[in-house]
Amino acid sequence: MPHSGKAAATPQALVPDDDRSGPKPSFDVEAYNAVARTAKLRRIALLRSHFSVHPAYFTLMSTEKAPKPRYSGDFGKYYFDSEKGRATCEWKWGIKVVDKRKITLSIGVIYIIIYSGLENQNEDSVIRYLKRVGRFSSYPYFRAHVSQLNWESGANLPILPTIAT
């Protein structure tokens, strides 16, 4: 499962500072809001899913020095057609548990998110929208997927928290 290698101790820590809103945002708010007002979500779909757990994981996790899961979330490929008003992007999510350089548990998914209604919008603002909103719209699907895998495998992972800016 492809990923950028960026990992964090919590999913919340994956939200970059320049994507946080507030009194002094790092982007053109008017252009971004123009995109936000016209974007119509058409689909969120799972493209790929990978799950593996090594039998040693279960023994490892029952010890006092059990490693903590590491989380990843990456914006993937995107496409924008200003004339047709369509935009798509991929969001990649992952969890790994590593012991002494050996991956004992790995979950990786890629979701595609499709929007319409974006005719003649600024491309940079559309991409920022895909990055910001795509993260928050695909993450609940990832949480549900992990929950199902967790239940089926008996991995006893902690319930994933929500994320916010």
**CATH code, 47:** 3.10.420.10
Instruction: Give a yes or no: residue 105 inside a domain.
Output: yes
How far apart, in whole angstroms, are the C-alpha atoms of residue 28 and residue 16?
17
pLDDT by residue (tens digit) across 5-35?
Answer: 577 677 666 666 665 555 665 667 788 889 9
- Give the residue among 67, 68, 71, 66 at the shortest CA–CA distance from 8: 71
Look at residue 102 in the predicted model and tell me its pLDDT. Answer: 93
- Domain extent, residue 77, equals 28-153
Instruction: Give a yes or no: residue 9 inside a domain.
Output: no
What is the value of pTM for the model shown?
A: 0.82
Mean pLDDT of all residues in the chain? 88
Instruction: Give a yes or no: residue 146 inside a domain.
Output: yes
Per the document, the length of the chain is 165
How far apart, in whole angstroms, are the C-alpha atoms of residue 43 and residue 159?
25
What is the number of domains present in the chain? 1
3-class SS at 64? coil
Answer whether residue 52 shows pLDDT above 50. Answer: yes
Answer whether residue 1 shows pLDDT above 50. Answer: no
- Comparing 32 with 72, the larger pLDDT belongs to 72
The Cα angle at residue 19 between residues 4 and 89, in degrees rounded to 5? 55
In sequence order, which residues have a C-beta less than 8 Å from that of residue 160 and are 6 or more positions away? 11, 142, 143, 146, 147
